[in-house]
Homo-oligomer: A and B are copies of this chain.
Amino acid sequence: MTVSPTTVEPTTSEQLEAILAAAAAASEPLGSLLPNERAPLLRAVADALDAAADELVPLAMEESHLPEGRLRGELTRTTFQLRLFAEVLEEGSYLEATIDTADPDWGMGPRPDVRRMLVPLGPTLVYAASNFPFAFSVAGGDTASALAAGCPVIVKAHSGHPRLSARTGTIVKDALAQAGAPHGTFDVIFGSDQGVQALRDPRIKAGSFTGSIPGGRALFDIASGRPDPIPFYGELGSLNPVFVFPGAAKARPDEIATGFCGSFTLGVGQFCTKPGLLFVPVGSAIVDAVVAAARDIGPAPLLNDRIARGYEQGLRRLVEVEGVQVVLHADPVRDLAVAPTLVKTTVPNLLEHKDELLEECFGPASIIVEYADLDELTRAAEAFGGNLTATVHAEESETDVVAPLLTLLRERAGRLLWNGWPTGVSVTYAMHHGGPWPATTASIHTSVGTTAIRRFLRPVCYQQMPAALLPVPLRDENVLGIPRRVNGVLTKDDVRH
């Protein structure tokens, strides 16, 4: 395997200009492809990445320090996702094709023939994340959904895995070219300043990001502050609280302790869905069980120096809070490697120090919070801002007491789990990976699951347009066989006059 060293140099101004110009030029031809013509492009990318697994996985291991099994699984997820979006295109609902034929008797006055569908926003800038070098990086979910939508994609590579980014980028570009995608459909750029410069460029029509709250907020502010503001979909930080109800705590302390340990230490705690707080009844056997289980977990390397420094800082902040008891304190980070840390506190103390304790600590640390009664649990839940997930562990017999808490949590989280763990987000039709600020910059959208495509599409409608000038999905004959809403009713039938 040869990686040209020049590929990880920062993108030059000339290169950036050429990439932006090519993306702008690709916008119309890529966007005008029918959905079933664009689907093969996604499959071509998936096939090329799968074929390159033995080259890419070692590179990812070297740069991210993540183990082989995890990275192979992540690559599978990545290519599965690309193929799932190909299916979404062929199924066609995502277009939201809607046809209202002319109606002289329409309730508010005669209605013209109006036909609506979604069209791509245009060139999209995707900021890759460090913690998923495949699934949230160069060919990850944002890229897959934006390409599926018909938007040219420019990925701003993460500095944590530059060579993998360059190599993945080349494979994706080559696969797209061979599959007949317009030149400019995809490229990768390197360098923070280059990323900001691209985000400010009027040819960029949308941005997406996975990363920290300060980083995402800074970019969101740039995107919103442009002379022509653009949507910016940032998936930022999340605490992912877990609430264990008394019945569950009593019935299966060990199962919950083991599950929790597996989840908060998965990927060395570097998941945006890491459960950062575990609420248990005071005196529950879960506390000792968690500590015992976590003690068996040896040190593992963090992704990079920057993450390591951030983790050390976060940990210091945590353990210095008054009333926080360290129940399992690993040694400091050594050569990037670190073992799990657990601290314990009470609800009143959590509420008193919420600024310090309700801040994400990215890495293998979590807070166990003992609650005295359900009233305390409710007050704790009310203290949370937006989260990607909130989890409840309870017995079926406890649903009555869980229900009001779930109502509170729904206001504060994008995904609500029952007797499960928030890490390991499945890519499905119903999955939602998002939530109110600061979990995301745009709570009405998801970055995982098939509906992630909606972020990169805008509606256009045609009024009284002759068939020859209508896009194929909006013509009377439903040649694509997609679901459409015709005069208010979902159907796959042709339009009959």
Q: List residues of A whose CB falls within 8 A of some B CB.
A: 27-28, 32, 73, 76-77, 80-81, 83-84, 87, 91, 93, 96, 98-100, 106-109, 111-112, 114-116, 119, 121-122, 220-221, 224-225, 228-231, 385-386, 396, 399, 402-403, 406-407, 410-411, 413-420, 426-432, 434, 436-438, 441-446, 449, 451, 454-455, 457-466, 468-469, 483, 485, 487-488, 490
CA distance A445 to B116 in the complex (A): 12
Contact in complex: A461, B430 (CB < 8 Å): yes
Of chain B, the residue at the smallest CB distance from A83 is B107
Q: How far is the CB of A396 from chain B (nearest CB, A)?
A: 6
CA distance A77 to B446 in the complex (A): 34
Complex A-B: 5 CB contacts under 8 Å: A108-B427, A121-B444, A224-B225, A396-B466, A403-B469
Residues of chain B within 8 A of A116, CB atoms compared: 429-432, 449, 451
Residues of chain B within 8 A of A96, CB atoms compared: 451
CA distance A98 to B416 in the complex (A): 15
Contact in complex: B114, A438 (CB < 8 Å): no
- Contact among B122, B386, B464 with A419 in the assembled complex (CB-CB below 8 Å): B464
Contact in complex: B426, A111 (CB < 8 Å): yes
- Contact among B109, B228, B468, B483 with A438 in the assembled complex (CB-CB below 8 Å): B228
Q: How far is the CB of A347 from chain B (nearest CB, A)?
A: 22
Q: How far is the CB of A435 from chain B (nearest CB, A)?
A: 8
CA distance A443 to B454 in the complex (A): 12
CA distance A443 to B459 in the complex (A): 8
Contact in complex: B81, A108 (CB < 8 Å): yes
Residues of chain B within 8 A of A445, CB atoms compared: 459
Contact in complex: B406, A469 (CB < 8 Å): yes
Contact in complex: A431, B114 (CB < 8 Å): yes
CA distance A307 to B407 in the complex (A): 46
Main secondary structure of the interface of A (DSSP, over half): mixed
CA distance A489 to B419 in the complex (A): 27
In the complex, besides A77-B108, A429-B487, A444-B459, 8 extra interface pairs with C-beta distance below 8 angstroms are: A80-B107, A91-B488, A93-B490, A100-B429, A106-B426, A418-B465, A430-B461, A430-B485
Contact in complex: B418, A459 (CB < 8 Å): no
- Contact among B108, B230, B438, B451 with A80 in the assembled complex (CB-CB below 8 Å): B108
Of chain B, the residue at the smallest CB distance from A107 is B80
Contact in complex: B111, A410 (CB < 8 Å): no
Residues of chain B within 8 A of A80, CB atoms compared: 107-108
Contact in complex: B461, A414 (CB < 8 Å): yes
Of chain B, the residue at the smallest CB distance from A490 is B483
Query: Nearest 10 CB-CB pairs, A to B?
Result: A432-B461, A116-B430, A224-B224, A80-B108, A98-B430, A228-B437, A114-B430, A417-B463, A432-B459, A100-B428
CA distance A163 to B100 in the complex (A): 37
Contact in complex: B426, A229 (CB < 8 Å): no
Residue from A431, A454, A487 having most chain B Cβ neighbours under 10 A = A431
Contact in complex: B461, A415 (CB < 8 Å): yes
CB within 8 Å for A462 and B224 given contacts A430-B100, A431-B116, A442-B231: no
Contact in complex: A428, B111 (CB < 8 Å): yes
CA distance A115 to B457 in the complex (A): 23
- Contact among B121, B428, B461 with A431 in the assembled complex (CB-CB below 8 Å): B461
Contact in complex: B107, A415 (CB < 8 Å): no
Residues of chain B within 8 A of A487, CB atoms compared: 429
CB within 8 Å for A451 and B459 given contacts A116-B431, A229-B437, A426-B108: yes
Residues of chain B within 8 A of A417, CB atoms compared: 462-465
CA distance A486 to B28 in the complex (A): 34
Residues of chain B within 8 A of A432, CB atoms compared: 116, 459-461
CB within 8 Å for A468 and B415 given contacts A100-B429, A426-B114, A460-B410: no
Residues of chain B within 8 A of A112, CB atoms compared: 420, 426
Residues of chain B within 8 A of A73, CB atoms compared: 109
Residues of chain B within 8 A of A441, CB atoms compared: 229
CB within 8 Å for A464 and B231 given contacts A112-B426, A121-B444, A429-B485: no
